[in-house]
Structure formats: structure tokens, C-alpha cells
Amino acid sequence: METYRIAGYFKNKCILITGSTGFLAKIFVEKILRAQPDVKKLFLLVRASDATSAKQRVQNEVIGKELFTVLEEKHGRGFHSFIEAKVFPVAGDIVRENLGIEDSILTELWKDIDFVVNVAATTSFNERYDVAMNVNVLGAKNVLEFAKRCAKAKMLLHVSTAYVAGEREGLIPEKPFSMGETLNGNSHLDIQEEINFVQERKKELQANKPTERIEKITMKELGMKRARHFGWPNTYVFTKAMGEMLLGHLRGDLPLVIIRPTIITSIYKDPLPGWMEKTRTIDSFIIGYAKGKLTCSLGNPKLTMDVIPGDMVVNAMIVAMAAYLNNQSEIIYHVSSSMRNPVAFSILQLCVYQYFSKHPRTGKNGKTIKTRKVPMFRNLASFRTYMVLRYKLPLEVLHLLDLILCRSLSHRCNELRQMYNFIVRLAELYAPYTFFKGCFEDINSRRLWMAMMKDNTEEIPLLDFDLKSIDWEDYFNNIHIPGVLKHLCN
């Protein structure tokens, strides 16, 4: 890394950002604009029917968010003119050729763009297989092909997930996938055959004219089945792994940086501590506690919960882009906490209990919600037993009572049965992460930080991603839990 400022790398540069209405991409856009106000243009690709709709989406879902308050205060009355000069919404979709961008502006983009940052993804663990394949696999390929057509493209930065590692135990290296690699070693993964398979299966399904619900369920089940066949726990990480394989295989001499974050949480420091959008893995636990509806939790208190604040992920992305500028190969960065500053599930459990003991919530009836410690089950078997004894057996009793009362309780029975099935399925879906026994190697990320410490100390406050600096108890009690309550709880 050169000894001049990292932000200098982005002066007079044009960056195309996909997935720009998502949580991580918003933080990236805000940070680039604040760290380097002389960036030339940020092209934000959004799904929209036309340029006007794209502009409206960016205003409502990106620039208009509270996240941009600090930037707005910095520019004062000139904020809107600054945004107009720097931010250019582009209507398109990564699942389409040339990203679905109108021909009239394609030539300009291919001529001007210096960096392509792909943050677009569908992150639902049990997404429809056809949807996940289109976005996470073919979408990644389309972004790469677009980047290769950009005359000045210096690199493609692709955001993946550390959990492409599946359910591996022990130390997990920052290593690219080989084309066709599987996690169980039982078979070879031919991605094109897999693409053809899901398309054919969908055609066969639609030929029978299923209801929308049946089609959705079938395609979700297909994704989980194929993922587990090749050794991955769910459709999301399976398709993200395939996306990585295609990028590494087809990139040619285009520099490729793959960022693999772990569980992303709220902003730690900059620009707005605690800011977040959408409920994430650990937040369901916090929200359940807040509403007094959490009766149990799943996880081993002694195991490491690998979390990483969103601003630190973005800072690592920006520094990696600057550091890897003159390379022509592929590099993986694990942005994780399990190596340098691990935090156990027991810490989160303790912090949540302490927080709501000090700040009790009030229910809709105006009464204080009593804060209780909830049991944490260390394996799925004990959780299933608890669910049967606590909920399924009483549900069967209610079903018998319903028969005696001439089906007068049928609606309530069906409602409770659906809720029971949903909770059990959700627990099984998240089990690979609540019982995860891997530890993510971060040699490349550490080298990145050490270079930053040596050559760019003046930028550390703005681009900090030193995980060792986080006091997790302080973060949960004073930043993350209040952030969840403010931004996610009604």
C-alpha cells in the first residue's frame, strides 16, 4: 500500500455499486462520499422501470435515510446539489444481460467506470432456488461480464459471506473455491448443469399450473435439497459459493477482491452508532426479549458468535480496494471477529438480560414486561423435546377439545400449529450458525490492517476496522441493543 491517503485512490474515480438500496451498500455510499468528496461519480444500480423511478428509489431508500445526516450536516445547504453532482441512479437488474441497463447509457458507463462493487444478493437462507440462482450465481456472472467490458476497470469487489464454508470446524482459511468444488467431496458440482436443472424443474412444475404457494414451497425445498446434496446447509450459502466459483473462473486478468463478512450487525462508530435496517440473526433474540415473547433460545453459550459491525465491513472494503489496486489476481478477505476478538453467545445472553432488567419494556396493555432468564438449548434434540412438551402436546389437547366443541376452535388450532411448525423450521434453519464450531482465519485482513496502521494512521478514525478495539459488552449494551429497539422494534 502506498504511503499517501487511501481516500486519494478514489479522487476523480467512477464507481458502479449494485444492491445500493441494501444495508451494507448504503453505508458504503455514505462513507465514500464523506471520505472522498472529490469522487467523480457513484452509479447506483437499482431495480426500477425507468430513470425517474430509479431516482425516486435512491432518494427514498438511500439518500433520504437517517444514515446520511452527518453528511448532510457537513455540506449544509449545499447537500442536495452535492448529491446531484455525485450520485447517479441507474435503472437495471443484475439478473439481466448488461445488468438490464438502457443501451443509451451503456457506452458511457463502459467508458467511465473505474471500480465495480457488487453488493447485490438475496440473503434469505431458504430462498426459492430459481431466485437465488438468478441473483447470487447468474447475477454475479453478469456483474463480472459488465466489469470486464469497462475500459478503465481496475477491479471488481464482490461481497460474499464467510459462511460459504458451510459447517466446517476448526480454522477456515481465506481461500478461493476451485471450480466445481463441493464441501462433502461426494460429487462434482457442474454449475451449468445445476442452472439447467433448476430451469427444467421450474418448467415441469409450471406445466402442471400449480398455485403460487405450491410453486414457492417446491422451489424452496428444491434449493435446500440441492444445497445439502453438495454439502452446504442452505440455499443462500450454496448459491453464494457458486457465485464465487464463477467469478474466480471467468475473471480473466481482472483483479478480483472477495469480501467474506460473518454476521453483520449495527454500526459501531461511524457515522451513526447503532443504525441498522432489517432483522438479522441475533436480533430476533433481542426483539423476542423486548416483547416478552421469548420462552427459550437455541445455542451453546460457550461457542463463539462471530459478529462484525456494518461500518467495519465497509471500511475493510474501501481499504482493500485501495490496497489491491495494482494486482491482477484474486484475493479473499474474511472480515470476522472469531480470531482476534471472539465473543461467546453467553455474552449476548447476559447483556440482553442486563439491559432489559435496567430498562424494562411496557406491553400494549400498559403493564411492565417482566424480564426473565430464558433457557438456552445446546442442541436441536433438547430443543425439539422442549417444543413437544411445552407446545405440541397442549396443541393436541386443544385439537381434541376442538372436536368435542364441533370445530369451534379450528381457526385457533390451525394458527397455533402453523406457528409451532414455523418456529421448529426456523430453529433448524439457524442451527448451523448457532452451533457453528469454525474459526475464520484472517491473515489477509490482518495484513491489510497492519499496512493501514503503518502508512495511513491519520485515516484510522474514518476507516477503522480493528476488531480488537471493540468491547463487546459495551457495544451490545450501549449501541446495538438500543439500535435494535430504535430501528427495528415498533
Helix (H) / strand (E) element for 82: namely: helix 79-86
List Cβ<8 Å contacts ≥24 apart for 93-98: 93/47, 94/18, 94/45, 94/118, 94/120, 94/135, 94/139, 94/140, 94/142, 94/143, 95/134, 95/135, 95/138, 95/139, 95/142, 96/142, 97/142, 98/142, 98/146
Q: Are 315 and 31 in contact (CB under 8 A)?
A: yes
pLDDT in tens, 377-433: 888 888 888 888 888 888 888 888 878 888 887 888 887 887 778 778 778 888 888
Q: Are 1 and 322 in contact (CB under 8 A)?
A: yes
Q: What is the pLDDT of residue 490?
A: 64
Q: Is 31 a catalytic residue?
A: no
Q: What is the pLDDT of residue 402?
A: 76
Strands (E), 83-138: 87-91, 115-118
Q: Flag whether pLDDT at 2 surpasses 50.
A: no
Q: Flag whether pLDDT at 279 surpasses 90.
A: no
CA 173 to chain CA centroid, Å, is 20
Which range has highest mean pLDDT (10-14, 365-369, 378-382)? Answer: 10-14
Q: What is the pLDDT of residue 102?
A: 95
Q: Flag whether pLDDT at 4 surpasses 60.
A: no
Q: Is 203 a catalytic residue?
A: no
What percent of the chain has pLDDT above 90? 71
User: One of 240, 289, 433, 475 is an active-site residue; which one?
Assistant: 240
Helix (H) / strand (E) element for 313: namely: helix 310-323
Q: Kindly tell me the burial class for residue 212, based on how many C-beta atoms sit within 10 Å of its own C-beta (0-12, 13-18, 19 or more).
A: exposed
Helix (H) / strand (E) element for 259: namely: strand 256-261
Where are the alpha helices (H) located in 341-409, listed in sequence order? 345-358, 380-387, 393-404
Q: What is the pLDDT of residue 244?
A: 98
**Which is higher by pLDDT, 460 or 121?**
121
pLDDT in tens, 20-45: 999 999 999 999 999 999 999 999 99
- Whole-number Å distance between alpha carbons of 192 and 356: 51
**Which is higher by pLDDT, 106 or 366?**
106
Q: What is the pTM of this model?
A: 0.92
Q: What is the pLDDT of residue 376?
A: 85
Q: What is the pLDDT of residue 398?
A: 85
Q: Flag whether pLDDT at 211 surpasses 70.
A: yes
Place of cell 406457528: 419
pLDDT in tens, 231-267: 999 999 999 999 999 999 999 999 999 999 999 999 9
Which range has highest mean pLDDT (41-55, 278-292, 380-394)? Answer: 41-55
Domains and CATH numbers, the chain: 6-279+305-342+438-469 (3.40.50.720)
User: One of 9, 163, 236, 475 is an active-site residue; which one?
Assistant: 236
- Whole-number Å distance between alpha carbons of 429 and 426: 5
Helix (H) / strand (E) element for 227: namely: helix 212-230
- Whole-number Å distance between alpha carbons of 438 and 488: 29
Q: What is the pLDDT of residue 480?
A: 97
CA atoms within 13 A on the CB side of 417: 11
Number of H-type helices and E-type strands within the chain:
20, 13
Q: Flag whether pLDDT at 272 surpasses 60.
A: yes
What percent of the chain has pLDDT above 70? 99
pLDDT in tens, 67-114: 999 999 999 999 999 999 999 999 999 999 999 999 999 999 999 999
Q: Flag whether pLDDT at 455 surpasses 80.
A: no
